[in-house]
Amino acid sequence: MSRAGELLFIYERIQIASGILFKNKNDVLLLKRSQRVFDPGLWGISGGSMDRDSDDPLETAIRETFEEMRVRVDKRQIIGKYVADVSNKVKRIWSPSGQMSSGLHFYTYIAEIDDQQRQSMKPVLNWENDRWTWVSIPTAMNNSKTHPGVREVLRNLPSIIGR
């Protein structure tokens, strides 16, 4: 099956994906997507699809963050969440059988960390990402290489976290 076919199959099977955006003051942690994943070369966040029916979106985001970065997330760090219906942003959500999927929602959780946690955070990346960096929110919002979904979250950040 072609890579595009794999994407179509995945989108037929899942309806929820989620990730974590780490925030420290006016900076966020971004990961550069490798050439082996969709949207290669863009700066994004850790995240992925629910593996099991028992997963909830936050547990999925925590699991994916550990898989991709070897960073543990404490649920007490979560200060907000943003849910985006990305069904209309995916060019083809058709299954191999020709039926359309019922939609895809992406949950982004905002994890606020303090200066000490930022200093001690040393992500160990898996194959999905090539690099990581801290960048100011305005810089991330204005960078064409920042994933559009991340830019959307950053534009809505004040309402998400109530500040």
- CATH number, domain of 8, equals 3.90.79.10
pLDDT tens column, 58-111: 999 999 999 999 999 999 999 999 998 876 655 444 444 444 455 678 899 999
pLDDT tens column, 109-129: 999 999 999 999 999 999 999
Instruction: Find out whether 98 and 5 touch, Cβ atoms under 8 Å.
Output: no
Range of the domain at 52: 3-161
Give the side-chain half-sphere CA count within 13 A for 117: 15
What pLDDT is stored for residue 15 in this prediction?
66
Give me the mean pLDDT over the 1-12 stretch: 40
Give me the mean pLDDT over the 46-51 stretch: 84
Helix (H, G, I), strand (E, B) or coil at 33: strand
What pLDDT is stored for residue 94 in this prediction?
41
What pLDDT is stored for residue 53 in this prediction?
61
Number of domains in the chain: 1
Chain-wide mean pLDDT for the chain?
Answer: 84
Whole-prediction pTM: 0.83
Give the pairing type, strands 105-112 and 16-24: parallel
